[in-house]
Chains A and B, each alone.
Chain A
Amino acid sequence: MIQLNNVSYCYNENDYALDSVSLEIKKGEFIGIAGRNGSGKSTLIRLINGLLLPLQGNVNVMGMDTMDNDSIIGIRKIAGMVFQDPQSQFIGMTVGEDVAFGPENLGLSHEDICGRVDTSLKAVGMYIYKDHTPRALSGGQKQKVALASILAMEPELILFDEATSMLDPVASEEVLKLIKQLHNKGVTIVYVTHRLEELIFADRLIIMDKGRIIHDDNPRKLLNEENILDSGIYLPPIIELSRRLCSEQVIEPIRLPISREELMEALCQLM
């Protein structure tokens, strides 16, 4: 579905934010991307929907090249993006109008638009704020509305750039659950975050450092690697504890527990 061939990008001359990256993403995959601040995560996903254009190499989304001017609208229809700080993307006077903006531009009927607005606002739990101005919402509520705006477009691919950074743990969990549901329905997900614990359910976990992809594998396998810490990422405390319990042979190191529930289960078997 998505193909990056030797893609490079720099914001300042000779300072590569992305350095010859090649990557293939299949339809329906859930791809998690992690890495320290400035490792190139956000740059990578902005290249996918053509917000940034490659300086070298090419980016292809369902047969369309992002460099091709005639393709860019087609790509944007397929690929929705939820940003870290949605503050600047609000345009409507009310939350409902804001969510309606995307579907209106798709040329849908009035009934369809209203239906999509209500469904997506209910999905993120913001329906009661439909007639409120987006400006009076808190940071986390804005992030939920931004997600609803993308859902209303019913895209085949959603790119998330730290979409839960402004949400409390309960709200993050709700949004993640929603994302998993979308994934189950066949939507392709590319999800960038600092919080590795959100990525343990991904089909593939990609770790970036200094503009390159340094790991790309199944999360459980990757989190068990000896050298995973060399990439400058921090492991979630539960996974660090699991790894140490395994390396000290307290629990059998055959299958690394990667969530609290799994670790709990492994430890209870020992009691």
Chain B
Amino acid sequence: MSINVKDLSFCYNRGTSLQRDALVNVSFSIDKGEFVLIGGEVGCGKTTLLRHMNGLLRPHSGSVTVDGLDAGNKKIRSKVGLLLQHPQKQLFAKTVYEDIAFAPSNIGFKDNELKDHVRYAMDLTGIDGSISSVSPFSLSGGEMRLVALAGVMAMKPEYLLLDEPTSGLDPENRSMMLKTLKELQASGVTIIIVSHQISEMISFAEKIMMLNSGSIDFIGTPKEYIFSTSSSLQLPDITSLMKDLKTAGMDVSEDVFSVDDALLQIKKALLNVDGKRNE
């Protein structure tokens, strides 16, 4: 079970003088249950690629399949959920509950079955039941995003596509969002994130893919990514510092993502066990 993309090409303004290639011969596969990051510079084709995976855009050549079905097949829409950029704009209902219930009620779920779907989504995203009857527009930006996410999760998708899920959120709300996504993955959902700021999410991912001008520039594990020579390498500042220190001759390892680990490594390299400086 997986998403398979084979020789995918797509261009905007096709057939006009402004024709611009967005994706050129892109091939890769994503296994079920993976946490995948797709990064790259502004305008490199990330969002275009994501929109092919649930059939919102159709390839000009090549193919995209989800669990063996063509991504254009309507059956895959309930399998693959998509959270757009600025998902607050997807909210519209009078209450949080109605907003989350919209999609499942649309495809015919009623009464207890509908309630089950909504409760499932609220539990997964950690939304407190006490806000289910308030207006989604009275919530903070971070909470609104979680409600939009719950609205997508109420369809119980197996694959979740997210376009810039953390942009514009303050650091506190960003870590809340990432924690929630990690929990979704633990419950079996495949997470595919597109972001221009992947550095802070690297330690969450199993697979990292970097796009450059519509082509794959790198694909591999976070560890491979840190040691890669990809031209679009975006590392967390802490990891870059450790790499630089290592190059300068300090005895530290490079695959460090947290301040705690960095502090430990630097102290170990510079100080003796009793806290005295190495001579």
User: What is the interface of chain A, defined by CB distance below 8 A to chain B?
Assistant: 36-38, 84-85, 131-133, 136-141, 144, 162, 165-171, 194, 197, 232, 234, 236-238, 240-241, 244-245, 248, 250, 260, 263-264, 267-268, 270-271
Question: In the complex, what distance in Å separates the CA atom of A237 from the CA atom of B271?
Answer: 22
The reply to whether B267 and A250 contact each other, CB–CB distance below 8 Å, is yes
The reply to whether A250 and B266 contact each other, CB–CB distance below 8 Å, is yes
Question: Which residues of B lie under 8 Å from residue A131 when comparing CB positions?
Answer: 18
The reply to whether A166 and B167 contact each other, CB–CB distance below 8 Å, is yes
The reply to whether B238 and A169 contact each other, CB–CB distance below 8 Å, is no
Question: In the complex, what distance in Å separates the CA atom of A140 from the CA atom of B167?
Answer: 11
The reply to whether B244 and A85 contact each other, CB–CB distance below 8 Å, is no
B245 on the A face (CB < 8 A) = yes
Pairs A–B under 8 Å by Cβ, sample size 24: A38-B140, A140-B41, A162-B168, A168-B41, A168-B196, A169-B197, A171-B42, A194-B171, A234-B171, A234-B172, A237-B237, A237-B238, A237-B262, A238-B237, A245-B263, A245-B266, A248-B267, A250-B266, A263-B241, A264-B248, A267-B270, A270-B277, A271-B249, A271-B270
The reply to whether A168 and B197 contact each other, CB–CB distance below 8 Å, is yes
Q: Please, what's the 1-or-0 string for B162-190, where 1 marks a CB less than 8 Å from any CB in chain A?
A: 00100111111100000000000000000
A234-B170 contact in complex given A264-B245, A270-B277, C-beta closer than 8 Å? yes
Given contact pairs A137-B43, A138-B43, A141-B42, a sample of 18 additional A-B residue pairs in the complex whose CB atoms are under 8 Å apart: A37-B141, A131-B18, A140-B196, A166-B164, A168-B41, A169-B199, A169-B234, A197-B237, A232-B172, A237-B236, A238-B237, A240-B259, A241-B263, A245-B266, A260-B244, A264-B241, A264-B244, A271-B249
Interface residues on B, range: 35 or more
Question: In the complex, what distance in Å separates the CA atom of A144 from the CA atom of B41?
Answer: 13
The reply to whether B267 and A268 contact each other, CB–CB distance below 8 Å, is no
Question: In the complex, what distance in Å separates the CA atom of A237 from the CA atom of B199?
Answer: 12
Number of A-B contacts (CB under 8 A): 112
Q: Please, what's the 1-or-0 string for B246-261, where 1 marks a CB less than 8 Å from any CB in chain A?
A: 0011100000001100
Cβ-defined partner of B169 (8 Å) among A37, A141, A168, A248: A37
Question: Which residues of A lie under 8 Å from residue B171 when comparing CB positions?
Answer: 194, 234
B115 on the A face (CB < 8 A) = no
Question: Which residues of B lie under 8 Å from residue A136 when comparing CB positions?
Answer: 12-13, 18, 20
Q: Which 6 interchain pairs have the tightest Cβ spacing? A: A140-B42, A168-B196, A234-B171, A138-B43, A37-B170, A168-B41
The reply to whether A260 and B142 contact each other, CB–CB distance below 8 Å, is no
Max chain B CB contacts within 10 Å: which of A131, A133, A139?
Answer: A139
